[in-house]
Amino acid sequence: MLKRLSQWLLLSRRGRIAQFAVPLSLVAGLTVLLIVSLGRLADIQQDMRSNEHGNMVWVVSQAQTTVVGLVAAIYKYHAQEGDAQEVEMAYTLFASRVDLMLDGPQARLLQTLDASGQLLGKLAQLNESEPLLQSLLAGSQNAREQLLADLERANKLLGRTANNAMVTQWEDLGARLDRYRANVLVVILLLLGIFLCSMLISTSLFLALRRARETEWVRRQAIRLQGELEAERRVSQLHKHFSETVSHQFQTPLAIIDSSVQRLGRGYQGSQKGFVDQHTNKIRRATLRLSRLVERTLMAEYYAQSQDVTIEPCAIERLIKEIAHQERDIHPHRKIVIETPATAIPAVLADAVLLDHVLGNLVSNALKYSPDDSPVNIELQFIAADNCVVCTIKDAGEGLTEQEQVQVFDRYYRTPSAASVQGTGLGLFVVQKLVQLMGGKVWVTSVPGVGSKFSVSLPVA
């Protein structure tokens, strides 16, 4: 699965775009999630710090205490248990508290708690009661009663406002807890998102590392293969050069033998003319065979590896007859039968030299791997449906098992029973390569103990 994914990323255009787009979007997503979670955490922290209504409860109850203190001081003064200074001090304390409440953020908050404005009005009024206090201290009964009534009213209003502040504080706390819970939930979800993004980024990093390693591996393989290819080319060139040289060394004396025998035959006009002609022809055919053998053995593998083929119409029927003729010369006691249909076999598209090598090899194998007294049958068929010609070489030899039928085309493969027969295991490997090079097919069917059939099919010219 990972392998297929990394191949897709490496090879397809979309995959290559995804290689960059996915990690970048993940990093962008991670950044957004981090920013949002920091914002939420800051909200929570801010929420936890603000407690303005709690402060207000404290301020109002402090003001109430000073009111109670002032009322107590007035009563003490009236009962002549306290002096005027004590009353003035209590009033100053009360006034400073009132100032605190009528000023800045406290006043704004107080306005929301004291919607009717009664408390604020009363406090403002009491704040201006210095003359009333002086009259009280001077012994005015009216001033005392009015101030005490105002203070009692203020005390009640302060009590009510403290209650309001308390209730508001509780509501505020409830709302804050709700917000806090919602924010914590969102932060948990964001953390999960961050975790997921991190996992995906790690996976894409892992894949990128893997891809980098694969690319490096492919690069090294390419360098190695390039080196091997170069070496192979050099060896192939050397092989070709060697084969050409050795082939030439053989061909030159063979050509001399051939032309000398030809001249001898033509020059001799004696009574034994028939006998001489028969034998000079035999020598010439044998020379030709030897020349082909050299060509096949030395050049075959080179041809199999090169792409150097000349595909042209080839008269396969004539070619197979020539091959049979040559083989009969080498094995005069062997029976080689060619079976052709009544209608002429069309020419095939092939390289004449390579096709000669292919068919020659199969016929010589059929003779080599079958008893001396058994026939070798060569059948030519035109398959109109596939527009091809199939040449089948059939022997009555030991045959091949199913496993051997698969392996016979492998390089250097020889069946165990072939150990006593001379060979290299290269013939069929080269045959297969050459047939493929010419765009044809070669296959074998065999029954152990009955015999084998090797077939070659080539397109009609």
Contacts with ligand ADP by CB under 6 A lie at: 365-366, 369, 395, 397-398, 400, 408, 413-415, 418, 423-429, 452
The residue (of 258 and 395) whose beta carbon lies closer to ligand ADP is 395
CB of 428 to ligand ADP, least distance (A): 3
How many Cα atoms within 13 Å fall on the side-chain side of residue 437?
24
CB of 306 to ligand ADP, least distance (A): 19
Place of tokens 């308390």: 166
CA distance 89 to 151: 16
Terminal alpha carbon distance of the chain: 48
CB of 430 to ligand ADP, least distance (A): 8
CA distance 320 to 316: 6
CB of 322 to ligand ADP, least distance (A): 20
Cβ proximity of 40 and 183 under 8 Å: yes
CA distance 140 to 324: 158
Please give the single-letter amino acid code of residue 194: I
CA distance 457 to 316: 11
The residue (of 98 and 451) whose beta carbon lies closer to ligand ADP is 451
Other CB atoms within 10 A of residue 303 CB: 22
> DSSP secondary structure string, 19-46?
HHHHHHHHHHHHHHHHHHHHHHHHHHHH
Cβ proximity of 350 and 320 under 8 Å: no
Return all residues near 444 (Cβ < 8 A) that are at least 6 apart: 400, 405, 408, 452, 453, 454, 455
State the DSSP code for 12. Answer: S
The residue (of 186 and 426) whose beta carbon lies closer to ligand ADP is 426
The residue (of 77 and 369) whose beta carbon lies closer to ligand ADP is 369
The residue (of 55 and 417) whose beta carbon lies closer to ligand ADP is 417
CB of 390 to ligand ADP, least distance (A): 17
CB of 289 to ligand ADP, least distance (A): 17
The residue (of 180 and 413) whose beta carbon lies closer to ligand ADP is 413
> Encoding tokens for residue 362?
């199969």
CA distance 459 to 355: 13
CB of 404 to ligand ADP, least distance (A): 7
The residue (of 66 and 365) whose beta carbon lies closer to ligand ADP is 365
The residue (of 312 and 410) whose beta carbon lies closer to ligand ADP is 410
> Encoding tokens for residue 157?
């209003």
Dihedrals phi, psi of 142, to nearest 5 degrees: -60, -45
Q: Do the bridges between strand 376-383 and strand 451-459 make them parallel or antiparallel, or are there none, so unpaired?
A: unpaired
CB of 392 to ligand ADP, least distance (A): 12
CB of 398 to ligand ADP, least distance (A): 6
| CA-wise closest residue to 194 among 77, 41, 53, 344 | 41
